[in-house]
A and B are shown apart, each in its own frame.
Chain A
Amino acid sequence: MYGKIQALNNVSFSIPPGSVFGILGPNGSGKTTMLGIVMDVLKPTSGSYSFFGQPATAELRKNMGTLLETPNFYHYLSGERNLIIAAEIKGKGKDDIDNVLRRVNLFERKDSRFSTYSLGMKQRLAIASALLGNPNVLVLDEPTNGLDPVGIAEIRDLIRALSAEGKTIIMASHLLDEVEKVCTHVAILKKGNLLVDGAVDEVLVNEDIVEVGAMNLPQLITVLQGMNGYTNMKNNGKLVQLFYAATTAPLESINRHCFNQGVVLNHLQLKKKSLEAKFFELTN
């Protein structure tokens, strides 16, 4: 409970080590609230969480890299001095600072005051800070917020590279496309409730939809029922929709089947179901 608003309600899932775990949900769905609770900056009314099967402590947080909601730094200090403070708190040496600054393309501006950074640079500094001490778990809350398209692509590449190094990455996002591009697993939140969680290719199943039309619709349906391979059939009164697993729709064989059965098609179209539509379907 946050004030009078119940921000989270019985959300429960576990995150496989080595995965890139996306927490997906529209604005205000409780993503940041949930991460805030596991980072001990928000106090839940009830519930529990654990890291690596152990109760969460400050010591464990030192070995995780976290960017929560906004880049939080001392405005009057340079990027490098801010990272020195973060490294001291984490109990890591200063040796890593140049390295992480290079990794996010901020090395040249390390001596500039944080207050002079652009939004994208602030975000990069926050990611650099999360990388300090080479942690095995990274928690990134909307990591591409405020970045330009090139920056977004760079950060996504960085996340993939980190994942390839075997790190577990927990990433909150309201950008479905982002989750689909970089995550292996996903949990979808809406108004504080967990809608679904699991591997991305299971949760965000892509479907091919084939629209078929003919003069005699009932006859077409009968003919199509004699065909197999599709997962579902819908009739909207004008056209028939056939659902196939992604990239498996056999247009030619549908056409041939109908023609051989004496039905001439006057409409045959492949439609890709957009992830966006899937997301709306899940969250509405």
Chain B
Amino acid sequence: MLQLLKIEWLKVKNYRTFWVLSILYLVSIFGSNYIAWLVWDSRPKKNSDVNMLVGNPFKFPDVWHVVSYTSSFLMFMLGLLMIISVTNEYSYKTHRQNIIDGWSRRQFVGVKVLLTFIISIAATIAVILTALAFGLFEDASLFSFEKFEFIGYFFIQALSYSAAALLFSLLFKRSGISIGVYFLYTLILENMLAGFLNRYFDNVGRYLPLESTDNLIRIPVFKMIINQFTASYNTTLLLTMALIYLALYIFLSMRKFETDDL
């Protein structure tokens, strides 16, 4: 497996687009949270109603939740990195050459699955560091691992988004269409469908593929208000569904690549 990863590393090591996007993504994780912090910090501090309503989301333990939530808006970037990595192989036809040179089809697609884990781990580490930075800055004495499960949810969400991107790239093969369909699906189409199903079919829209991971990390502020008009969430079921979908993305990706004409 290390040998396979070494080869993937050789492919990506000198690929500038990948690194530019990766670094900007990591900076943006911090950036998006900094924006949220600026918005929160500009609240009317003397208004006790506002203070009671929002509290301090950047203190431990809430910061684990808040930073995971804010960072999750950048999930599509992980998908983009994955799509580039796979569709590049198609446009250079190196997916064929790797097989011709002696990789099995399973090895080729297996490395891409490993890549989804690696970029998800990298993103999760960035989120942990960002949460630590804000939490320690606000009040280091409150440090705790309470609510650290949100970091775990973030990791599962990251895995789901990148594995779904892997499947999309293997299905569409071309970068343009993969990126377009992936963005529209993750940002709009699934949310639209989820909204419709939630409204008319007793909230089943919550269990759509990526929706189930989005709902693991729910909006951390205004809980008191929101909870009044949404049905309660079943986290165990969401988690189960998320893992089932994840297994499905990986299974379908492997199957697609192992049976396709390359």
Q: Chain B contacts of A85 at CB under 8 A? A: 7, 10-11
Determine if A89 and B101 form an interchain contact, defined as CB atoms under 8 angstroms apart: yes
CB distance from A41 to the nearest CB of B (A): 4
What are the 8 A-B residue pairs with the smallest beta carbon separation, nearest first? A62-B102, A72-B97, A72-B93, A58-B104, A41-B262, A89-B101, A61-B102, A41-B96
The 8 Å CB contact of A86, one of B92, B101, B262, is B101
Known contacts A58-B107, A86-B97, A89-B98: A81-B10 contact under CB 8 Å:
yes
Q: Is the CB of A74 within 8 A of B11?
A: yes
A58 to B100 CA separation, bound complex (whole angstroms)? 8
Is A73's CB under 8 angstroms from B94's CB? yes
Interface string of B1-36 (1 = CB under 8 A from A): 001001100110011100000000000000000000
Question: Is B261 interfacial (CB 8 A cutoff)?
Answer: yes
B interface residues with partner A (beta carbon < 8 Å): 3, 6-7, 10-11, 14-16, 88, 92-94, 96-105, 107, 259-262
Asked if A202 is at the interface (CB within 8 A of a chain B CB), the reply is no
Q: Which A residues are CB-close (under 8 A) to B260?
A: 43
Closest partner residue, chain B, to A63 (CB atom): B102
A36 to chain B, nearest CB (A): 8
Smallest CB gap from B102: residue in A? A62
Report the separation of the CA atoms of residues A77 and B7 in the bound assembly, to the nearest whole angstrom. Answer: 13
Q: Is A76 in contact with B14, judged by CB distance below 8 angstroms?
A: yes
Contact B96 A68 (CB under 8 A): yes
| Chain A count of residues within 8 A CB distance of the other chain | 30
B7 touches which of A62, A76, A88 (Cβ 8 Å): A88
Complex Cα distance A60/B261, Å? Answer: 20
Q: Considering the chains assembled together, what is the distance between the CA atoms of A72 and B16 in angstroms?
A: 20
User: Which of B6, B88, B101 is the most central at the interface, judged by chain A CB atoms within 10 Å of its CB?
Assistant: B101
- Quick one: CB contact mask for A48-77 with B, threshold 8 Å, 1 for yes? 000000000111011100101010111111
Q: When the two chains form their complex, are residues A66 and B14 in contact, meaning their CB atoms are under 8 A apart?
A: no
Contact between chains at B14 and A40 (CB < 8 Å): no
Given contacts A41-B96, A58-B103, A72-B97, A84 and B10 within 8 Å (CB-CB):
yes
Residue contact A41 to B92, C-beta cutoff 8 Å: no
